[in-house]
Amino acid sequence: MGNPHGFQEFGRELPGKKAPAERVKNYNEFVSLYSDEKLNQQSSRCMNCGIPFCHSGCPLGNIIPEFNEAVYQKNWLLAYEILSSTNNFPEFTGRICPAPCESACVLSINKPAVVIEEIEKHIIEIAFEKNLVKPYTPLIKTGKKIAVVGSGPAGLAAAAQLSKAGHMVTVYERDDQPGGLLRYGIPDFKLEKWVIDRRIKLLEESDVTFVCNTEIGKDIAADDLVRNFDAVILATGSTVPRDLPIEGRELNGVHFAMDYLTQQNKRNSNTTINTAELVATGKNVIVIGSGDTGSDCIGTANRQGAASVKQFGLMAQPPAQRTTNMPWPSYPIIMQNSSSHEEGCERIWGISTKAFLGDEQGNLRALKVTDISWELDEMGRRTKFIEVEDSEREMPCELALLAIGFAHPQYNGLLEQLNVVVDQRNNIHAQEGVYRTNVSKVFACGDARRGQSLVVWAISEGRETARKVDQFLMGHSVLETKDALAAFEY
């Protein structure tokens, strides 16, 4: 522990951000880096706890106190080695993770948590700057061939790990470029796409082959893939969006959030858009759904020059702080103010959309809404909602974006051809920790298996699945478990 008084001397401080009025003028990232002095101070706040609860909060088991200490000592090679031993892509999680590690940080019991996510981002960016990040060339090649279907964070993590173990990996992607939701879901202002390109180049230099514009189950039959490879990993994501099938759903101006976000990401990368132009310029926009996707729609609509932006949440407004129902170190469901909210948006909680109302040309003109209240059971859980009397009204709206989540992976095509068994929620059935499907040689990970989740979980599942595939092919695995890595003495 570099500075035993760091947590008393320094408060939590985040790096500077461009002002909202300035940053909405373009789609670039707007968070700056710390000065050397600030980074040193922030890393010194870590107490190197006897039981570092931050580890347990992180799905990857990141070895946080050790890398904080290495940052404090300015030992960048060590910091990078520790971080990259558990996380293949800290440049993604360091930018967009909701940081469950920080919710579990011991310091956060009575003070603001250590800025773990920012420290992670600084380690990897400094490592790239100092040329410490190199392609991986295993000493022994096994001659085994593995196909990974889907190039989101789960597929990429599995590919990185398996190539490290000496296998020949081919990643198939139906989009024109690899990255999954990192590429065409998450907006550039949260994650600029050169960050993905930089990592893909490293993976290619580590002998991973990418085949884009190729849908397995359509362009290549699923059976052919299974026949031609020693193992297959399904990392196809949770791509079927939840719908809101109410009156007026068919009107022009009611769209899924992903259709809207993907278009803008493609526009930013000068990629051809084959669907009808979908922009918020001059429109009253209502985003239905209060999660990450909704928040990304708000940031995008403001950048496109929307006349107004509102966001609806079906639930009551969450509390500002932890309540007795969500004690430390659990991940609390509290009011989150994202950077997109800072840029301008009216948030309305406890509201239900009853109908989309159109004009004579079939264009959306308003939403019919009502306020709601929730009935709770004896455990305090929400059971059903009731409309508040006389609260029904119309809200002008020419663009309504449905950001109410994803139901499950697409079954027709690949999964159907393989006859993959799905669970009760229609996700691929493959037990956590085992990751094998009912089909011989076929494994599954990420959102396609666990349901819509987070980038950090996708990376974690990709790594764990790679180890299981390595064991399946070789009888044992050279890839370490996160527990073994955490027990290593640095």
Ligand X SMILES: Cc1cc2nc3c(=O)[nH]c(=O)nc-3n(C[C@H](O)[C@H](O)[C@H](O)COP(=O)(O)OP(=O)(O)OC[C@H]3O[C@@H](n4cnc5c(N)ncnc54)[C@H](O)[C@@H]3O)c2cc1C
Q: Is 48 helix (H, G, I), strand (E, B) or coil?
A: coil
CB nearer to ligand X: give 43 or 437.
437
Residue 114 binds to ligand SF4 (criterion: CB under 6 A): yes
Residue appearing with tokens 């930013």: 268
Query: Are 289 and 405 contacting, i.e. CB atoms less than 8 angstroms apart?
Result: yes
Residue 356 binds to ligand X (criterion: CB under 6 A): no
Residue count of the chain: 490
Residue 294 binds to ligand X (criterion: CB under 6 A): no
Integer angstrom CA distances of residue 382 from 379, 439, 456: 9, 38, 28
Output the smallest distance, CB 58 to ligand X, in A. 12
Within residues 448-467, the interface with ligand SF4 by CB under 6 A covers none
Output the smallest distance, CB 332 to ligand X, in A. 17
CB nearer to ligand X: give 40 or 239.
239
Question: How many whole angstroms separate alpha carbon 190 and alpha carbon 127?
Answer: 21
Residue 115 binds to ligand SF4 (criterion: CB under 6 A): no
Question: How many whole angstroms separate alpha carbon 193 and alpha carbon 71?
Answer: 26
**Residue span 221-240 as binding mask against ligand X, x where in contact by CB under 6 A, dash where not:** --------------xxx---
Within residues 92-111, the interface with ligand X by CB under 6 A covers 96-97
Query: Are 239 and 410 contacting, i.e. CB atoms less than 8 angstroms apart?
Result: yes
Question: Of ligand X, ligand SF4, none, which one does residue 168 interact with (CB within 5 to 8 Å by kind)?
Answer: none
Residue 400 binds to ligand X (criterion: CB under 6 A): no
Which of 439, 446, 464, 482 is the binder for ligand X (CB under 6 A)? 446
**Residue span 422-441 as binding mask against ligand X, x where in contact by CB under 6 A, dash where not:** --------------------
CB nearer to ligand X: give 35 or 56.
56
Which of 107, 162, 345, 418 is the binder for ligand SF4 (CB under 6 A)? 107
The dihedrals phi and psi of 368, each to the nearest 5 degrees, come to -90, 120
Determine the angle formed by the axes of helices 116-129 and 36-43, rounding to 10 degrees.
Answer: 130
Question: Of ligand X, ligand SF4, none, which one does residue 458 interact with (CB within 5 to 8 Å by kind)?
Answer: ligand X
Query: Are 291 and 436 contacting, i.e. CB atoms less than 8 angstroms apart?
Result: no
Question: How many whole angstroms separate alpha carbon 485 and alpha carbon 471?
Answer: 18
Question: How many whole angstroms separate alpha carbon 94 and alpha carbon 459?
Answer: 13
CB nearer to ligand SF4: give 79 or 116.
116
Output the smallest distance, CB 339 to ligand SF4, in A. 23
Query: Are 161 and 481 contacting, i.e. CB atoms less than 8 angstroms apart?
Result: no
Residue 180 binds to ligand X (criterion: CB under 6 A): yes
Residues facing 310 on adjacent strands: 286, 346
Q: Strand pairing of 399-402 and 254-256?
A: parallel
Question: How many whole angstroms separate alpha carbon 458 and alpha carbon 448?
Answer: 10
Summarize as ranges the residues that interact with ligand X (CB under 6 A): 96-97, 149-155, 172-175, 180-181, 185-186, 215-217, 235-237, 258, 261, 292-293, 296, 413-414, 446-448, 453-456, 458
Summarize as ranges the residues that interact with ligand SF4 (CB under 6 A): 46-49, 52-54, 64-65, 68, 105-107, 114, 116
